[in-house]
Amino acid sequence: MTEPLLSVRGLTTRFRTDRGTVNAVEDVSFDLMPGQTLAIVGESGSGKSVTAMSLMRLIPDPPGRIVAGQVLFEGQDLLKLSEAQMRAVRGDRIAMIFQEPMSSLNPALTVGFQIAEPIHQHRRTPWVQALAQAVGLLERVRVPDAAERARAWPHQFSGGMRQRAMIATALACQPRLIIADEPTTALDVTVQAQILDLLKELTRETGAALILITHDLGVVARYADRVAVMYGGRIVEQADARTLYRQPRHPYTQGLLASVPKLDGDTSERLVPIEGSPPDLAALPPGCAFAPRCRQATAECLAQRPELRPASAGSQHLHACLRADEPAQA
């Protein structure tokens, strides 16, 4: 059996604030196989982006700190690397596409220069050759007139073109893993589909694994192989995408799916919102974090925090719910 490209175990990240310690990510574990796409989904504040930043070791200290866990990438624990060693990994073997490309691109440097920089830095490629490769990468992500656009500034690119430039930068050194943090949030619907189709196509061509951070379950259904659902800083359900959609076990996952509009023409089925608000990560309840919003919660749920466990013996479908095996209440 192929070994995981990335194996995360017990990842825990906390922030010190005036209100106390914020448990942004708590005991997160998952495996990612070569060439696989893992979607991490959940509401805003669930810990998705902090998980991604923790994997890249980009948590600002202070106020944040990774306090526990392992991040084994190609058998090497990234949390044990020096900062210089980690810089050699970022942009080379692991690349990240951020949520807002305009804040990620340097407005004082041309787009082509920024795409060429990791090639020059990590591959020691002369600038002339690196810039030529940057033009080729822009062509690969379907930016028209690539040679001319490589000399343009970020503000001269549209939102969709800036995101294509970010994808080109991520692909520059042929990484084994790409982390895309809400890569289409600021784009209109048609451009979103183009960017995601392009990203999936390019990762399939290169064999790179992809972690896709999103709140959009429609995106998950179309692009993900496996899904991890986060709530209150923890993974509450994890399964392959088809299984998750057909047989969601955690009430939070069920709530997310029930709140997605159906496009089959049936207007009689009303959307069911999840009542209440996401938990305060600085004051998490002692039991299940979702219990205050859950219609199935019991006194046991309020007192006991459930661990992530298989839905059945040997199953790869995991959930963290004490009552997942009981019939759902209306």
Check residue 269 and give its pLDDT. 62
Dihedrals φ, ψ of 212, to 5°? Answer: -110, 110
Q: Measure the CA–CA gap between 79 and 70, rounded to whole angstroms.
A: 7
Check residue 46 and give its pLDDT. 92
Check residue 329 and give its pLDDT. 47
Domain regions of the chain by residue span: 1-93+176-190+203-261+273-330, 107-174
Strands (E), 182-242: 209-214, 226-231, 234-240
Options 1.10.1380.10, 3.40.50.300, 3.40.50.11890, 1.10.630.10; which CATH number does 1-93+176-190+203-261+273-330 get? 3.40.50.300
* Burial 76-112, CB ≥16 within 10 A → b, else e: eebbebeeeebeebbbbbbbbbbbbbeebbeeeebbb
Check residue 190 and give its pLDDT. 81
Predicted confidence (pLDDT) at residue 26 exceeds the cutoff of 90: yes
Extract the tokens encoding 133: 């490769």
pTM greater than 0.85: yes
Predicted confidence (pLDDT) at residue 327 exceeds the cutoff of 70: no
Asked whether the beta carbons of 275 and 293 are under 8 A apart, the reply is yes
Asked whether the beta carbons of 52 and 78 are under 8 A apart, the reply is no
The position carrying tokens 């490209």 is 5
Q: Which of 215-219, 265-269, 284-288, 291-295 has the lowest mean pLDDT?
A: 265-269
pLDDT band at 100; cut points 50, 70, 90? confident
Check residue 264 and give its pLDDT. 57
**Region for residue 276 given its phi and psi (left: phi exceeds 0; alpha: psi -120 to 50; beta: otherwise):** left
What's the CA dihedral at 142, 143, 144, 145 to 10 degrees?
-130
Predicted confidence (pLDDT) at residue 278 exceeds the cutoff of 70: yes
Reduced to 3 states (helix: H, G, I; strand: E, B; else coil), residue 26 is strand
Q: Measure the CA–CA gap between 291 and 275, rounded to whole angstroms.
A: 11
Reduced to 3 states (helix: H, G, I; strand: E, B; else coil), residue 155 is helix
Cα Rg of the chain (Å, integer): 21
Check residue 2 and give its pLDDT. 80
Helix (H) / strand (E) element for 249: namely none
User: What mean pLDDT do residues 193-200 have?
Assistant: 88
User: What mean pLDDT do residues 168-176 have?
Assistant: 94
User: What mean pLDDT do residues 44-71 have?
Assistant: 94
Asked whether the beta carbons of 149 and 157 are under 8 A apart, the reply is yes
Q: Measure the CA–CA gap between 30 and 229, rounded to whole angstroms.
A: 11
Average pLDDT score over the chain: 90
> Among residues 18, 46, 87, which one has the least CA distance to residue 256?
46
Reduced to 3 states (helix: H, G, I; strand: E, B; else coil), residue 166 is helix
Predicted confidence (pLDDT) at residue 191 exceeds the cutoff of 70: yes
